[in-house]
């Protein structure tokens, strides 16, 4: 709602001169609606949500055959440019301008932009020029973000000289080849940093050979292929807190040890970096387990991760019992393991089955090790108060449902108790958030006796909400994304349900899109039936709705990222689609760029 409302300014009062400027209205508006949502709730959690989405999906798009700049130079079918790059990366480009200018000058530039161009059709150049004129900051090199595709990589290293009390930070940037350009010049990248002492307190930042006053945080202007920044007056080795708030849409590599990541999880003053450290620590442990599995060896999770989760749970329980100062939504985010989609993007060759197996095993281990703490925290987050859409209430529900998700992994007596709690939440809750989560867990649960409860819950949910189309879409999606065996057969059965209509794009997304995008272990079954199913639907939909057909096709375009058994199966379905007569321009463009 906020997004469409903000289009009254960025899109209507000032609009695009041509389709190549699409991000001028969409990227800017995504940035503005994100800021509104951050103001209404937890700013850190909103940033975590947005970056999770960007790193999982837009980064994948930037590494695919369909990669394109934020301001493309050409197109075959404009519908194919309503992409995550236009929207999400476009918003990040606007955010970087604010990082470079500061909030005050950014607001001044925005006001000038609307004042200067009210009622006009303009370009991204007009937007950037308004920012330059208002602030006096030269953004010439920054404009490259509009012209080149791909996700830049920052390789960062640090060195401390105790004798001179100087800490040197060396940054090397690169960007992989993309369809429009193989060799790219350096970008202008805002790198927000802080240096912390061994207690997590800020050390004063003073750049060598500058008149800059000491500060807790700085935004470094990374403009060269390789740069070194020297910080003086440091009497102890600092801990570098880098890319704070995710100040640029880049992949950053810094050789943090696991002990350093543990420190950052609990001591960093930047909430985003605390969450990111937890994700990186868990990703490293999952990588260990995956490597062992691929080598035919058994392995146990790093106990430092298990203990870290226990410490976070203990702190959350203590807080819930007394002061209630912690951001419970942030705690829930930190305790959630990286998604399978995010993990997949960390590998050149995606091991679908391995990623699923080791992530599930790690989650099961965490559930067993901390069962009592998850149960205690779940009950502490329960509330008899009427439903409220406030930030605190939303956070409490998020943490409660995170705990329930871990509890539903338990077996035996504890598993039966978790099932009882989950079933009670489904039947007794008065809000859709809790009911939806309980139903999802019932659909995926494996406890003894759950089958009958599951079917009863699905039937009751549908019977109650059958006249609410959007809620029925949730009902479809919950079943389509269930990871139990036989998922494709369930999806094919759902497509025969009276509430499903392949001519309705939302129904297509809720069933076909949800299965293909949100159920990787079943979509990528080694028999290739998931690929055959998707190709069948794309061929059918191309005659009904070419736009949604081309978007569904995206998964097959990444066929080169998978193992040697799956590659030919995926490619064969692309070729089958390509051989169809009278393909739409939408689908034809995606297929031909992918083969």
DSSP 15-39: EESSGGGHHHHHHHHHHHHHHHHHH
The CA angle 37-26-56, to the nearest 5 degrees, is: 70
Q: What is the pLDDT of residues 277-317, one digit of tens each?
A: 999 999 999 999 999 999 999 999 999 999 999 999 999 99
Global pTM?
Answer: 0.93
CATH code that applies to domain 256-407: 1.25.50.10
pLDDT of residue 211: 79
Share of the chain above pLDDT 70, in %: 100
pLDDT of residue 6: 85
Res. 80: pLDDT tops 80: no
Quickly tell me which residue has 């990871």 as its tokens.
483
153-254: what CATH class? mainly beta
In angstroms, the CA 172 to CA 253 distance is 10
Q: Average of pLDDT values for 170-198?
A: 95
DSSP state of 386: P
Q: What is the pLDDT of residues 211-266, one digit of tens each?
A: 778 889 999 999 999 999 999 999 999 999 999 999 999 999 999 999 999 999 99
DSSP of 269-301: S-HHHHHHHHHHHHHHHHHHHHHHHHTT-----
In angstroms, the CA 340 to CA 118 distance is 45
Instruction: Give start-end residues of each CATH 2.60.40.1840 domain in the chain.
Output: 153-254
pLDDT of residue 214: 86
The CA angle 52-245-318, to the nearest 5 degrees, is: 80
Supply the mean pLDDT for the chain: 94
Which residues participate in catalysis according to the annotation?
A: 4
Instruction: Give start-end residues of each CATH 1.25.50.10 domain in the chain.
Output: 256-407
In angstroms, the CA 556 to CA 520 distance is 12
pLDDT of residue 233: 93
Q: Average of pLDDT values for 67-84?
A: 82
Tokens of 24: 């001028």
Instruction: Give start-end residues of each CATH 1.10.390.10 domain in the chain.
Output: 2-147
Q: What is the pLDDT of residues 427-469, one digit of tens each?
A: 999 999 999 999 999 999 998 889 999 999 999 999 999 999 9
Q: What's domain 2-147's architecture?
A: Orthogonal Bundle (1.10)
H helix runs in 200-270, sequence order: 258-267
Closest CA to 447 of 413, 424, 480, 486: 413
Q: Convert 511-547 to b/e letters by CB count within 10 Å (16 or more is b).
A: bbbbbbbbbbbbbbbeebebbebbbebbbebbeebbb
């Amino acid at each position: 709602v906020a997004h469409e409302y903000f289009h009254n300014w960025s899109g209507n009062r000032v609009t695009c001169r041509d389709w190549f400027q699409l991000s001028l209205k969409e990227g800017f508006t995504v940035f503005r609606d994100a800021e509104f949502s951050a103001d209404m709730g937890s700013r850190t959690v909103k940033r975590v949500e947005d970056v999770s989405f960007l790193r999982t999906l837009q980064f994948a798009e930037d590494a695919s055959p369909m990669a394109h700049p934020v301001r493309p130079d050409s197109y075959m079918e404009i519908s194919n440019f309503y992409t995550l790059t236009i929207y999400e990366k476009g918003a990040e480009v606007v955010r970087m301008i604010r990082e470079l200018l500061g909030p005050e000058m950014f607001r001044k530039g925005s006001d000038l932009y609307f004042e200067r161009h009210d009622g006009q059709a303009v370009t991204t150049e007009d937007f950037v020029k308004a920012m330059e004129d208002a602030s006096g900051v030269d953004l010439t090199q920054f404009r490259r973000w509009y012209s080149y595709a791909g996700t830049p990589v920052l390789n960062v290293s640090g060195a401390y000289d105790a004798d001179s009390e100087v800490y040197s930070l060396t940054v090397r940037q690169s960007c992989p080849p993309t369809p429009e350009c193989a060799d790219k010049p350096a970008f202008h990248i805002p790198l927000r940093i802080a240096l912390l002492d061994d207690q997590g307190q800020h050390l004063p930042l003073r750049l060598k050979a500058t008149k800059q006053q000491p500060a807790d945080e700085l935004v470094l202007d990374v403009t060269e292929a390789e740069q070194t920044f020297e910080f003086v007056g440091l009497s102890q080795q600092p801990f570098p807190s880098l890319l704070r708030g995710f100040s640029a849409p880049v992949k950053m590599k810094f050789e943090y040890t696991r002990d350093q990541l543990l420190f950052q999880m609990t001591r960093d003053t930047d909430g985003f970096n605390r969450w990111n450290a937890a994700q990186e620590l868990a990703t490293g442990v999952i990588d260990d387990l995956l490597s062992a599995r691929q080598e035919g060896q058994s392995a146990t999770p790093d106990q430092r991760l298990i203990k870290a989760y226990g410490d976070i749970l203990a702190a959350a329980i203590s807080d819930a019992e007394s002061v209630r100062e912690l951001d419970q939504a942030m705690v829930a985010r930190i305790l959630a393991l990286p998604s399978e989609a995010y993990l997949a993007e960390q590998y050149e060759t995606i091991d679908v089955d391995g990623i699923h197996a080791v992530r599930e095993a790690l989650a099961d281990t965490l559930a067993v090790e901390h069962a009592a703490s998850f149960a205690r925290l779940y009950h502490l987050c329960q509330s008899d108060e009427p439903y409220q859409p406030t930030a605190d209430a939303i956070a409490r529900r998020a943490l409660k449902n995170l705990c329930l998700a871990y509890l539903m992994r338990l077996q035996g007596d504890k598993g039966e108790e978790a099932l009882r709690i989950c079933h009670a939440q489904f039947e007794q809750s008065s809000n859709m958030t809790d009911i939806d989560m309980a139903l999802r867990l019932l659909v995926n649960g494996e406890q003894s006796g759950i089958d009958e409860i599951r079917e009863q819950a699905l039937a009751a949910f549908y019977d109650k909400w059958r006249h609410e189309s959007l809620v029925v879409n949730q009902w479809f999606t919950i079943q389509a994304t269930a990871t139990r065996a036989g998922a494709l057969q369930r999806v094919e059965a759902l497509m025969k349900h009276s509430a499903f209509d392949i001519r309705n794009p939302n129904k297509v997304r809720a069933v076909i899109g949800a299965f293909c995008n949100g159920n990787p272990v079943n979509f990528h079954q080694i028999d290739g039936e998931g690929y055959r199913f998707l190709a069948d639907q794309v061929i059918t939909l191309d005659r009904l709705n070419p736009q949604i057909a081309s978007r569904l096709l995206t998964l097959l375009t990444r066929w080169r990222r998978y193992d040697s058994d799956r590659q030919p199966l995926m490619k064969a379905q692309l070729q089958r689609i390509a051989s169809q007569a009278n393909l739409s321009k939408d689908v034809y463009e995606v297929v031909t760029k992918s083969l």
